[in-house]
Amino acid sequence: MLTTERNRIVEVRRAFPSLDEMTYLNVATHGLTPQPILDRYLELISLTARYGHMRYDDQDVPAYQRARSAVAGILDVPPTWVAFGRNATDGINQVLAGLAWQPGDEVIISDQEHPAVYLPWNYGARRGFFTPKTFTVDPDPAVTLRNLEEQITPRTRLIACSHVSSQTGIRLPGPAICALAQRLNDAGRDRPILTLIDGTQELGQWRVSVPAIGCDFYVSNGHKWLGGPKGSGILVVREQAFPLLTPPYMAGGIDDFEDHVEDVLNHRDAPRMFESGTQNLAVVTVLADLVNWLDNLGWSWIEERERNLAAYIRAQLRTVPGVTLLTPDAWEQSSAITSFTMEGMDALHIHRTLWDQRIIARWVPERNGIRIATPYFTIEEELDRLISALRRIRAA
**Chain residues in the site for ligand PLP (CB under 6 A):** 29, 87-89, 114, 116, 162, 166, 198, 200-201, 221, 233
**Dist. CA 86–CA 234, nearest whole Å:** 8
CB of 328 to ligand PLP, least distance (A): 17
**C-alpha to C-alpha distance for 285 and 282, rounded to whole angstroms:** 5
- Residue closer to ligand PLP by CB (options 60, 113) is 113
Based on CB atoms, which residue is closest to ligand PLP, 165 or 378? Answer: 165
- Rounded to whole angstroms, the Cα distance separating 373 from 381 reads 15
CA gap 94, 241 in Å, rounded: 13
Q: At its nearest, how many Å lie between ligand PLP and the CB of residue 31?
A: 11
DSSP letter string over 274-295?
Answer: G--S---HHHHHHHHHHHHHHH
User: Minimum CB separation from ligand PLP for residue 91, in Å?
Assistant: 8
Least distance from ligand PLP to the Cβ atom of residue 200, Å:
4
Whole-Å CA distances, 50 to 41, 259, 288: 14, 29, 22
**Least distance to ligand PLP from the beta carbon of 306, Å?**
16
Q: What Rg do the C-alpha atoms of the chain give, in angstroms?
A: 22
Q: Which of 240, 170, 162, 148 is nearest to 196 (CA)?
A: 162
Task: Judge contact between 271 and 82, C-beta under 8 A.
Answer: yes
Q: Do 142 and 161 form a contact (C-beta atoms < 8 A)?
A: no
Torsion of CA 218, 223, 224, 228, to 10 degrees: 110
Distances (CA, A) of 276 to 229, 236, 247, 259: 19, 16, 10, 12
> By C-beta, is 87 or 338 nearer to ligand PLP?
87
Based on CB atoms, which residue is closest to ligand PLP, 201 or 378? Answer: 201
Closest CA to 288 of 27, 84, 129, 108: 84
Nearest-angstrom CA–CA distance, 61 and 55: 12
Residue (23 or 26) nearer to ligand PLP, CB: 26
The nearer residue to ligand PLP, 84 or 130, going by C-beta atoms, is 84
Nearer to ligand PLP, 201 or 316 (CB): 201
Q: How far is the CB of 97 from ligand PLP (least distance, A)?
A: 15
Least CB distance to ligand PLP at residue 115 (A): 8
Element (H, E) at 134: strand 131-135
Smaller CB distance to ligand PLP: residue 112 or 316? 112
Question: How many whole angstroms separate alpha carbon 326 and alpha carbon 157?
Answer: 31
> Closest approach of Cβ 199 to ligand PLP, in Å?
8
Give percent helix, percent strand, percent coil of the chain, each to the nearest 5.
Answer: 45, 15, 40
Beta carbon of residue 53, minimum distance to ligand PLP (angstroms, whole number): 27
Of 116 and 210, nearer to ligand PLP (C-beta) is: 116
